[in-house]
Chains A and B, each alone.
Chain A
Amino acid sequence: MKIFVSVKMVPDVSAPMLVKNGELIMDADRTVLNAYDASAVEEALVLKEAYAGEVVVVSVGPAKAAETLRKAMAMGADSAVHITTENMEEELLFDSYSYARILAVYYKDQYYDALFFGKQSQDTDAGLTGSMVAEILDIPYVSNAINITREEDDKFVITRQTDNNQEIIKTSSSCLITCSNNMNEPRIPSLKGIIASKKKRLQKINLRDLHINERDYKPQTKLIEYKTLPSRKAGEKLEDDAEKTSKMLAEFLYQKNIFQ
């Protein structure tokens, strides 16, 4: 069984940040493996451990993205593919559409049982890339998976979270699955894993060598500016014994017409 997991390097959203003159200022060095992708890697590794197979992680990004791929290999992925965008200014402007077009060109020529994606990325929360790739490749897909098992050698049984319930879906191989972070706790790489990852194969492919026209991955969306969130002011805060505060809260709710 061969699973490719697409992973993305994202800015660490827990880092302090600031919006100034329409720009977002944050520490460019603080980057992490997107949490949802980490869950996708974890799930691929669990399946590999149960049913044997190979897990390959793939990322489109600048030189630094290699760190993200090493991290995924330290978790246990067998090898990595880095589609590099070095010295490409437009890389900074890529949107989900750009990533989807580029990844689809790479996956088109690969053999796979499944392509795993995180369901969204922590920085933009757009959540589009997975289903875009599935549509471009014309393969079945299941999104927002919270559990994946293998059946009869060529099928996956996937539980997905919907708006109000869960669905169990059966899909044949050569499918695409986007993973929720509610399906597992991604393992922390062990020291042994980290050392082993250094010897694992990391293939570099320059985006320019991938057979794709620049206009085919031209971003659809353009950033105009960043803004600060309209602030929600902290209101009244009661600190007193429970008897008093509860009464006041009930009264407050009544005043605000909450009971109907």
Chain B
Amino acid sequence: MILSHLLTIHKDGINRASAEILARCRELKNHLLKNSINTELHAIICNSNVSLWNSSKLSNELGIYGVDKIWITKKGNICDQNKALIKYIASAQKEATKKYNIPSLLVMESNELVKDILGGLAIHINASVISDVIKFGFSDNNFTPRKDKSLYIRATRPVMTSKALADVKVIDKQIIISLRPGSYNLPDVNDLETVPKKVEIEYMNDRLHSPNNKISLKNQIKQVINATEDFIDLNEARIIVAAGRGIKDQNGKTLIANLAEVLNAGIAASRALTQSGIYDSSVLVGQSGKVVSPQLYLAVGISGSVQHISGILNSKMIIAINKDKNAPIFDIADYGIVGDLNKVIPILIDEIKKIKSK
């Protein structure tokens, strides 16, 4: 079978969520190979900054995950037009599966880029899809492709504002899954391939996925507004400092910025503050914003509504600062301080500085 993953490459490497997904896929691949099921792991790259990454770097970075083949475009970035991206992935999947006429499982990161295309892609390639899962695998006793070459995938996803989990299954020849970041641990480098195998790199025929003129003319990007210039990507951040209504105003915002600076943290906000315009909606965390999974999520002046909490449950550690000792955020916090943030944060910043300078 073909296991594949859609990824974007950056100057310094692949992002954390992709590493988690590739490691999980490698685990499944090895499991299948052990059971004598011919399996390949493919990576589909949608922003080929070829100038940054030559083929040996590609091979090195992805070979350690047991990637057998990379699909890439010479066109540069094709992520910014949903229909074009759908066609691109579809043609890579088609090429990959045509050769062997076998089932495929495509695993993508559950982020806005993917949310934009997921349903459309599933229709386009006639696949079944499960979105926003936190766990997936082959059904216990049926992980082998069935006689009609279909797969049985079982996945767990949060529902009802993350108040419950639902286990769902799909049976199909082509299946797509989107996975919440932080759902699987980052692999230990010692567990990966020590001698990365040579990865086959295939340049896509870019004619195949150029959007038909009808659509591209109808749908054009006019402008990209970079909300935050100099920021730490919340999808990648090790530490996130999150601000809630309790910070009140610009002064509070400055406090948060100072705290984030000493912690080298990304800054997030609750909906109370993105609605009031104190923070840009790009940093909203929760059901209608981002799902984050940092090592530490430090919630300041956030009550802990179900909608907010649903976006932070994959965090390794949650710490809350809130003046209301009954705030629901404390029910899920590993460590909490009951107190006025205006008093606590300035002292906290000083204490952190003291410890760091030692």
Interface residues of A (CB under 8 A from B): 11, 13-14, 17, 19, 24, 26, 36, 96-97, 100, 119-120, 122-132, 134-136, 140-144, 146, 157, 159, 161-172, 175, 180-182, 220-229, 232, 234-243, 245-247, 249-254, 256, 258-260
Contacts and interface: CB of A to CB of B under 8 A. Distances in A.
Interface residues of B, number: 97
Nearest to A161: B281
Dominant secondary structure of chain A at its interface with chain B:
mixed
Contact of A127 (B83, B131, B215, B271): B131
B224 A165 contact: yes
Given A36-B288, A167-B223, A180-B288, A130 B111 contact: no
B218 to A, nearest CB: 4
A165 B334 CA distance: 31
A172 B218 contact: yes
A161 B238 CA distance: 23
Given A235-B333, A258-B295, A131 B160 contact: no
B92 to A, nearest CB: 17
B335 A228 contact: no
Contact of A169 (B221, B238, B274): B221
Nearest to B329: A234
B219 A250 contact: no
A169 B119 contact: no
30 contacts: A11-B160, A17-B160, A24-B160, A97-B128, A100-B119, A123-B159, A123-B160, A132-B123, A135-B121, A136-B123, A143-B116, A144-B115, A146-B281, A163-B113, A167-B221, A168-B225, A169-B220, A220-B128, A220-B172, A222-B168, A227-B156, A227-B164, A228-B164, A232-B334, A240-B339, A242-B340, A242-B344, A258-B239, A258-B295, A259-B352
A76 to B, nearest CB: 22
Given A129-B119, A143-B115, A228 B325 contact: no
Nearest to A245: B337
Dominant secondary structure of chain B at its interface with chain A:
mixed
B83 A140 contact: yes
A79 B283 CA distance: 37
Interface stretch (B96-104, B189-197, B313-321): B313-321
A245 B325 CA distance: 14
A97 B63 CA distance: 36
Nearest to B271: A182
B120 A131 contact: yes
Interface string B109-130: 0011101111111111000111
* The 10 residue pairs across chains A and B that have the minimum distance between CB atoms: A250-B351, A128-B119, A131-B119, A242-B343, A246-B347, A132-B119, A220-B128, A135-B120, A131-B120, A235-B334
A121 to B, nearest CB: 10
